[in-house]
Chain A
Amino acid sequence: MEVLRLQNLQKSFGSVRALKCASFALNEGEVVALLGDNGAGKSTLIKAISGVFPVDRGDIYVRGQKVSIRSTRDAMDLGIETIHQDTSLAPDLSIARNLFLGREPVNLKWLGVFAPLDLAKLRDAAAALLKRVGISKKLDADALVSTLSGGERQSIAISRAMQFAAKVIILDEPTNNLGVEETHGVLRFVKEVRAAGHSVLLITHNIHHVFQVADRIIVMRRGEIVAEQTVADTDLLTVESIITGADMSALLKETRAK
């Protein structure tokens, strides 16, 4: 079953056409790796899906329904959780407060934004979550994020996406800056999420990771999707040459033939 479909998304920043024309679909319980060199437009594509900025043109469908994603809140409400490449945590807040930022557990809900935080629940849920993710067992939920290492921060951001059991989880270079153990934690998490029936869009520069967890590969170059292949039908070297653009014509033909 298809959960997300993008059709002809376009986005320019002034004269830079970061996204020329991107279309693809993501199925339920599927891990799709989005590959491409620096500046290919991967982050731009996922920012459009997660509501960071509107696209200039193109449509987005969630479970077959055409949707308009005008804000990050819209995307979250549609079940799309994103972990951005640039830090997605507030360093001056505690781990617990970051985990629930924007979705704080409160008492007296009718008070709206003035509602008191349910601090006990916040702490307990945060501690439980950190334990469940297992990639950051030593962390105190009350510690400020500014005191954490880059890898620890990444782990927190990932735990947060997991917390809200989104339909689609988008990870923009999640294993950047991570140590060996944390990297395995992330990859394990991706598999877990798939097993639970969610879909993952994974952006990474590490092709080995792709072959460990992805079902399908999409390659972008200069704002366009240039190849789409299932992992079973391809190999590491082929993918690498598509990304770098070596012998593009032959590969494109091969892709189209499918």
Chain B
Amino acid sequence: MTIAAEEEMPRSKRRSSLIRSPQFSSLVILIVLLAVFAVADANFLSPLNISNMMAFLPELGIIALGMTLLLTAGEFDLSVGAVFGLAPVVVMLLVQNGGFDIGIALLVGLLLCIAIGAVNGLIVTKIGISSFLVTLSMLLVVRGAALYITQGFPLKSWDQPGFFVTLLAGSFNIGTFRFYTSLWWFIGLSLLAIYVLHYAKLGNWISAIGSNRNAAVARGVPADAVKVWLFILTSALAGLAGMISAFRISAASPVAGTGYELEVIAMVVVGGTALTGGRGTILGTIVGALMLRSIRNGIVLIGVPGLAYNIFVGVIILAMLILHALLQKNAARN
């Protein structure tokens, strides 16, 4: 009798902790939002509109995955939007003006993103300047570079289909839905990120570093190296997302991705990842990405005036954060 009672307790405790977890409350709110939009406008769930949302979702979502890992380790990166803009600009310039093979140009673009991430990471860890300041400066450098090398003009349109274009931005139809291959990238990378953060040794290290860096270092965890690699990963994912976007719309603009850094960070924290590090959730980030995308899409459909979008987005994000904070407090009290 007593044994049964003892075994019963942790299970119910676990279930209630799942319900109280931040990603769960985000999920509930996402469902409510979707329902509200669906009722307010029948077109919201139309194949065309869903296809549309799914085309945009992976581009910011992919960056958000890297940002989640980075935030969990206690750092963040404000230069992702600029890298999103610079990578395709460099690749297309190399191909169109430099006559390089597209494969080589993509490789150069990737190496460039890696270098940007490495510089961010090394300055943050070795010199000890906060990631806010370092990546804010990097945002200016990278955006400035994109503007300078293009002289501020978007590159002429890209009309050479090929292996890489199909790989990154090909599309296919399922029934009346039209999906891009980028969705597969997002799904695949999400699964990888879930594995790494929650099931691999590395994820244990990432959470420990963000939670208590000194404790992690005292256990022999190479905290600085992990952080540098996460900066590199985030930067590379931002470049990948930029390429996907540029291939999809067949154009590269030096101002593409402006403001994305904040949108991505919003997705991550709305999903329940702590801005202060230590607690990260990839599932939450996926929910957060879906939420911000559907908000942006839904408020257009239900007829909110264009210039008022950001008011709504901002208010909804604030409400989410307040909710998380209240849940957190509640959990601490129990």
Could you tell me which A residues sit within 8 Å of B by CB distance? 50, 52, 71-73, 76, 82, 84, 86-93, 97-98, 101-104, 106, 111, 113-117, 119, 140, 142
Contact = CB atoms under 8 A, between A and B. Distances in A.
Contacts of A111: 200
Interface in B76-113: none
Closest 8 CB pairs of A and B: A102-B219, A92-B278, A73-B220, A90-B211, A92-B211, A90-B208, A113-B202, A102-B220
Contact of B212 (A72, A76, A89): A89
B212 to A, nearest CB: 4
Contacts of B211: 90-93
A60 B183 CA distance: 56
16 contacts: A72-B220, A89-B215, A90-B208, A90-B211, A90-B212, A91-B212, A91-B278, A97-B207, A98-B208, A101-B216, A102-B205, A106-B201, A113-B205, A115-B201, A116-B195, A142-B10
Contacts of B199: 116-117, 119
A132 to B, nearest CB: 20
B214 interface: yes
Contacts of B5: none
Contacts, number: 89
A97 B220 contact: no
A22 B274 CA distance: 43
**Chain B CB within 10 A, most for which of A87, A102, A106:** A102
B218 interface: yes
Contact of B201 (A50, A72, A88, A117): A117
A52 B202 CA distance: 21
Interface residues of B, number: 27
Contacts of B53: none
A2 B196 CA distance: 43
Contacts of B207: 90, 92-93, 97
Contacts of A50: 218
Contacts of B10: 140, 142
B204 interface: yes
A53 B201 CA distance: 25
A98 B204 CA distance: 9
Contacts of A114: 196, 200-202
A1 B14 CA distance: 50
Given A84-B214, A90-B212, A90-B278, 14 more contacts: A82-B218, A84-B218, A87-B215, A89-B212, A90-B215, A91-B211, A92-B207, A102-B219, A103-B219, A104-B204, A106-B201, A114-B201, A115-B200, A116-B200
Contacts of A89: 212, 215
B221 interface: yes
Nearest to A111: B200
Contacts of A86: 214
Nearest to A109: B201
A64 B210 CA distance: 38
A52 B204 contact: no
Contacts of A115: 200-201
